[in-house]
A = this chain, B = another copy of it.
């Protein structure tokens, strides 16, 4: 008999439980890094699985914390690996950052300083905003010498921080000055993933690294727009109009994907093809338990007997 205080335990996805899950779900929400691909390499069996799901009338939605690309750039990436995914099926944290400014009536005459990739700048532009920084500040250097004053733009009203493999002291000082010295300047994080599969062979520091750096220098906490925040869900619901209880979030991270799914009221499926191992899942210190877990996305196909 299960005691009332028993900890919720994940079920391994199996031929026995997959039918009920499959039948109760209208939309599958997929994380990308560690789920669909690792770096530029597709994970085995993904195309066949997505094809089968579409053929059964399931909606496919891609929700990624990786802010390096815009929705348009993500659609291109999907095409380049042979997957047909439309721009409006993709909800990236770069898009979420621009939408956060939009719904909060951020004044278009104010500028946005970006510590992160081209994707954030593109989404800002599409939303009608002027972005500064990003890749073009990647090679800038500072000189720590007498009488040198580092100048920043006083009209910056928000700093957006995402994954930035070209992080440097110039950008850190620029963002820090904006947040500390421009009155009311917003500090927005696309996400706080500690690490991610930026390449197929290994994990690298994620946006959580750059965001933490800015927290360290500004002594401020950011507004997080990516997972596990459910901010993006309202845009997704507007497009798909499916009750979240009939969605299943599929992801490789407990503290972003699975927590996002749970926060939003979705079913949740952890795949072990990314950053989370089975021993992390089963570690007593872990208190985020997905409804189901399995080794990779293509298990859905196999377990359904296709």
A binding-site residues for B, Cβ under 8 Å = 39-41, 142, 144-150, 164-169, 172-173, 176-177, 180, 192, 194-195, 198-202, 204-206, 208-219
A177 to B198, CA, bound (A): 14
- A-B pairs, top 6 by smallest CB distance, nearest first, are A212-B216, A205-B217, A213-B213, A209-B217, A209-B216, A212-B212
A205 lies within 8 A of B40 (CB): no
Residue pair A150, B217 in contact (C-beta under 8 Å): no
A146 lies within 8 A of B39 (CB): yes
The answer to whether A144 and B201 touch across the interface, beta carbons within 8 angstroms, is no
A201 and B147 within 8 A (CB): yes
Minimum C-beta distance from A137 to chain B (A): 13
Chain B residues, Cβ within 8 Å of A39: 144-146
> Known interface pairs A208-B216, A213-B213, A217-B209. Does A201 touch B149 (Cβ–Cβ under 8 Å)?
yes
Residues of B within 8 A of A213 (CB): 167, 205, 209-210, 212-213, 216
Contact B148 A199 (CB under 8 A): yes
11 A-B interface contacts by CB (under 8 A): A149-B202, A167-B168, A167-B172, A172-B209, A176-B195, A192-B216, A194-B217, A195-B217, A208-B217, A209-B217, A213-B216
Q: Which residues of B contact A210 (CB under 8 A)?
A: 213, 216
Q: List chain B residues, Cβ under 8 A from A199.
A: 144-146, 148
Given contacts A144-B198, A167-B168, A212-B213, 15 further A-B contacts (CB under 8 A): A40-B145, A144-B199, A146-B200, A148-B199, A148-B201, A149-B201, A164-B169, A166-B169, A167-B167, A167-B172, A172-B205, A177-B202, A209-B214, A211-B216, A212-B216
Q: Is the CB of A194 within 8 A of B208?
A: no
